[in-house]
A = this chain, B = another copy of it.
Amino acid sequence: MSLLTVGSVAFDKIETPFGKTDKIIGGAATYISLTASYFTKKNNLVGIVGADFPAEMIEIFRNHGVNTDGLEIDQNGKTFFWSGKYHNDMNSRDTLDTQLNVLDGYEPKLPEQYQDSEFLMLGNMVPAVQHATLNKFNKRPKFVMLDTMNLWMDIAMDDLKAVVSEIDCLTINDSEARQLSGDYSLRKAAKTIMAMGPKTLVIKKGEHGALLFQGDKIFFCPALPLEDVFDPTGAGDCFAGGFIGHLAKTDDLSFSNLKRAMIYGSAMASFCVEKFGTERMLNLSEKEISDRVMEFVQLASFEIS
Interface hit among A44-52, A69-77, A255-263, A280-288:
A255-263
List which A237-296 residues lie within 8 A (CB) of chain B: 256, 259-260, 262-263, 293-294
Bound complex: CA of A187 vs CA of B227, how far in Å?
5
Q: Are B256 and A303 in contact (CB under 8 A)?
A: yes
A182 within 8 A of B: no
Contact B208 A218 (CB under 8 A): no
By a CB distance below 8 angstroms, the chain B residues around A94 are none
Q: In the complex the two chains form, is B228's CB within 8 Å of A185's CB?
A: yes
Q: How many whole Å from A91's CB to the nearest CB in chain B?
A: 11
Establish whether residues B185 and A304, one from each chain, have CB atoms under 8 Å apart when the complex forms: no
Total copies of the chain? 2
Interface string of A218-237 (1 = CB under 8 A from B): 11111001111100000000
With A218-B298, A298-B218, A299-B218: A263-B304 Cβ-Cβ less than 8 Å? yes
Which residues from B are CB-within-8-Å of A89? 184
Give which listed residue, B186, B209, B263, B301, contacts A222 with CB less than 8 A: B209
Considering only CB atoms and an 8 Å cut-off, how many residues of chain A contact the other chain? 38
Which residues on the B side are within 8 Å of A299 (C-beta)? 218-220
Check if A211 sits within 8 Å of B184, measured CB to CB.
no
Q: Tell me if A156 counts as interface (CB < 8 A to partner B).
A: no
The CA of A262 and the CA of B300, in the complex, are separated in Å by 11
Q: Is A57 an interface residue (CB 8 A)?
A: no
What residues of chain B lie closer than 8 Å to A301, measured between beta carbons?
Answer: 301
CB pair A303 B260 closer than 8 Å = yes
A305 on the B face (CB < 8 A): yes
Are the CB atoms of A229 and B185 closer together than 8 Å? yes
Is A205 close to B, CB under 8 A? yes
A-B residue pairs, 8 tightest by C-beta: A208-B208, A259-B302, A220-B222, A187-B225, A187-B227, A220-B299, A186-B225, A185-B227
Listed in ascending order, the chain A residues whose CB lies under 8 Å from chain B are 88-89, 184-188, 205, 208-209, 211, 217-222, 225-229, 256, 259-260, 262-263, 293-294, 297-305
